[in-house]
Structure 1
Amino acid sequence: MTSTGVLTGLEAGMAELSTPTRVYVAAGRFTEPDPDLPELAARIRTLLAGVAADEAWRRFLPGYAPPSVPEIRAALEPVETHGAAAFLAGVAAVDLLWPDHLHLPVEAAARAAERVVSLLGPEASWWTNHDAGCGAVNRLTPLFDSLLAGTDGEHFALALQIADD
């Protein structure tokens, strides 16, 4: 598949995983040569800035500025590729605070997440702000948040669910 085809597929798949004011997504192609984790963290920072600018969350985030790229990098933990689709579907479908509440049908989220992970390929690297070792979340906002970010070194896909109790 061409790079343009991958990008189009990623954008469509991530759009299926988005829900207004709860699950924010981004997909794109890096413009920098040899992008790596710092460039991915910069895209995450841009997504966080978009959430902070959203009228639905502005009142919950007075004075909030997204963490710096080094701070975002430090908050990220690797996710095995074989677990990325399930994690992505969970970020998109299952509410952070009320797991019985679904933002999307689980089956639809799983299909879209499988396509996204497949497009980035088996060699993609995936990152989250969850520390699997202790179950903690390295928060990127002062609210409840859950992030999954993936890249194949040319393209990226980001999903962030945000909630306030």
Structure 2
Amino acid sequence: MEVLAGLEAGMAALSTPMRVYVAAGRFTEPEPDLPELAARIRALLALIAADEAWQRFLPGYAPPSVQAICAALEPVEVHGATAFLARVATVDLVWPSHLHLPADAAERAAGRVVSLLGPKATWWTNHDAECGAVNGLTPVFDSLLAGTDGEHFALALQIADD
């Protein structure tokens, strides 16, 4: 199976309407790095801002700059990426007892995505593991996990309003 097709299928399995937005693709830039990944995150945020369902919660919202997104990101160890990705797709940010997807299905899909990007992939989140805070990318609750193998990328962002 081609990596891109597998990433797209795996990420689609983690998506839920109005809550978990995903993207997967192949970079077109030569030697992409964190700014190119942040640009893809910014595009996903723009997609959410354009979603009619979120416009009333995000009036006047414009996604942060690529530089601001880079500054908000913290690394995630590869060995923790599967569980983190499954959690972004399943556990509601506001009501943690509510699951958006069955946990076992999300774990399988997340495992496929992490496996396709491989053991040398880099993973990033907007969570600060040191203090437990979230560097919000939107004015509402959000949780992001982004990974890249230097050629492909996978993004999952859950958004919620209280």
TM-score for the superposition, normalised by structure 2: 0.99
2:71 equivalent to 1:81: no
Distance in 2 of aligned mates of 1:98 and 1:40: 29
Code of the residue aligned with 2:55 in structure 1: it is R
- In the other structure, the counterpart of 1:147 is 144
TM-score for the superposition, normalised by structure 1: 0.98
4+ runs deviating over 6 angstroms: none
Cα shift at 1:141? 0.1
Give the unaligned 5+ runs of structure 2.
none
- In the other structure, the counterpart of 1:109 is 106
Code of the residue aligned with 2:123 in structure 1: it is W
- In the other structure, the counterpart of 2:134 is 137
Offset from partner CA, 1:107-129 (integer Å, 9 cap, x none): 00000000000000000000000
Code of the residue aligned with 1:76 in structure 2: it is L
Distance in 2 of aligned mates of 1:18 and 1:32: 26
Match of 1:119 among 113, 116, 121: 116
Give aligned pairs, total. Answer: 162
Match of 2:64 among 59, 63, 67: 67
2:12 equivalent to 1:15: yes
2:37 equivalent to 1:35: no
Code of the residue aligned with 2:22 in structure 1: it is V
Offset from partner CA, 1:51-82 (integer Å, 9 cap, x none): 00001100110100000000000000000000
2:161 equivalent to 1:164: yes
Cα shift at 1:48? 0.1
Give the unaligned 5+ runs of structure 1.
none
- RMSD of aligned C-alpha atoms? 0.5
Code of the residue aligned with 1:86 in structure 2: it is A
Name the % identity.
Answer: 83
Distance in 2 of aligned mates of 1:72 and 1:104: 27
